[in-house]
Amino acid sequence: MKQIISIIIIMLTLVPLGNAQEPFKQSLSGIKKVSLKASTDMKVEVTQGNELILDWGKICDGCDDNGNYNDLPYVREQVEKKRNKAKGLKAIYADGVDNTGFGMQLDRDGEVLRIKDLKPITQRRSFTIKIPKGVSLEVDTSTLGSVDIDGFSDELEVTSNVGHVKLVNVTGPITASTSTGPIDVIFTTVSQNSPISLTTSTGDIDVTLPSNTNANVELRSTMGTVYSNFDLVKPREDGLKNITGNRKIKGTLNNGGVKVYLSSSTGDIYLRKQ
């Protein structure tokens, strides 16, 4: 008995008080797509393992992205106070049930894992999610949040409203749409599997492709300007009237390939060769 108690005491002292919670982990066996809905700034990274990893994120002023506040005594005190106040109670949310202990709701729907952040941006400024290779991702931040993704080589579907969408070192297939948020994408290579489509209402679209990319590009900005340093070969005039009246620029890169479609109402479009 004494031994057990002393073990418990040792264990308790090993857990630093007020330290950030361990990241949430979820096995993704049998899951082909993760669907993420949140109203905050999201960072997506790729992990080598086969588990999805979710950090608490920036949940207070002075916290870091993992929810750590240890090194700031004042913040720590405030958060401790609040935690003690909520002791024995459970946080409840209007939008769903927190079944992760992270203020997020997780539902499995066949091969799709749906994650919904129940906290508003005022309570969680940002968080990071790590996803194993081979799983496609849908991200929806239709209120205030933004999306930053680095090194993703599976299929991506991104929806944002005013926040930016920044995709770096990606391959596609990618479909993204925003209202005023700008979309920036830097491709390492371009997957020929299925089309890439980026569209905004007023945000700029800025895409960088490797110079040897095979693609059929279609660029359209109704009221903005299209810029590129690719030689976009204009298709031959066949004398037929363009019924849509759209000022659409069509061109092939390196004999053509997968469709790359960039479209905006008032935003400018930048297609860069690298």
Partner 1 sequence: MMLAMLDNRSVSKRIQAVSYSEDISTPDEEVLEALIDRLHFDGSVNVRLAAAEALSKYSENEKVKNAFIKSLTNEKNPNIQITVIQFLVDIQDKRALAPMQQLLEQTETPDYVKEQVSAGLQQLI
Contact between 171 and partner 1 by CB under 8 A: the answer reads no
CB of 240 to partner 1, least distance (A): 10
CB of 207 to partner 1, least distance (A): 15
SS3 state of residue 173: coil
Query: Using CB under 8 A, which of 196, 205, 260, 271 touches partner 1?
Result: 196
* Nearest of 134, 160, 158, 132 to residue 146 by alpha carbon: 160
47-60 burial code (b ≥16 CB/10 A, e <16): eeeebbbbbbbbbb
**By CB under 8 A, what part of segment 70-89 binds partner 1?**
none
What is the torsion angle, in degrees rounded to the nearest 10, for the CA atoms of residue 223, residue 225, residue 230 and residue 232? 40
Q: How many residues bind partner 1 (CB under 8 A)?
A: 35
* Nearest of 161, 187, 153, 122 to residue 37 by alpha carbon: 161
Query: Using CB under 8 A, which of 13, 236, 245, 255 touches partner 1?
Result: 245
C-beta of 67 vs 145, nearer to partner 1: 145
Contact between 126 and partner 1 by CB under 8 A: the answer reads no
**By CB under 8 A, what part of segment 8-47 binds partner 1?**
33
Cβ contacts of 135 within 8 Å, gap of 6 or more: 28, 31, 32, 33, 34, 154
Contact between 265 and partner 1 by CB under 8 A: the answer reads yes
C-beta of 66 vs 161, nearer to partner 1: 161
CB of 159 to partner 1, least distance (A): 8
Contact between 243 and partner 1 by CB under 8 A: the answer reads yes
**By CB under 8 A, what part of segment 100-119 binds partner 1?**
112
Q: Is the bond preceding residue 132 a cis peptide, omega within 30 degrees? A: no
Contact between 263 and partner 1 by CB under 8 A: the answer reads yes
C-beta of 33 vs 58, nearer to partner 1: 33
Contact between 246 and partner 1 by CB under 8 A: the answer reads yes
Query: Using CB under 8 A, which of 78, 143, 189, 201 touches partner 1?
Result: 201
Q: How far apart are CA 32 and CA 76, in angstroms?
A: 39
SS3 state of residue 80: helix
Contact between 161 and partner 1 by CB under 8 A: the answer reads no
Stretch in the footprint of partner 1 (CB under 8 A) among 122-130, 168-176, 204-212, 229-237 = 168-176
Q: How many CB atoms lie within 10 A of CB 250?
A: 13
Cβ contacts of 248 within 8 Å, gap of 6 or more: 218, 219, 220
**By CB under 8 A, what part of segment 43-72 binds partner 1?**
none
Q: How many CB atoms lie within 10 A of CB 256?
A: 13
Q: Which residues bind partner 1 (CB under 8 A)?
A: 33, 112, 136, 155, 157, 159, 172-177, 179, 193-202, 222-223, 243-246, 259, 261, 263-266
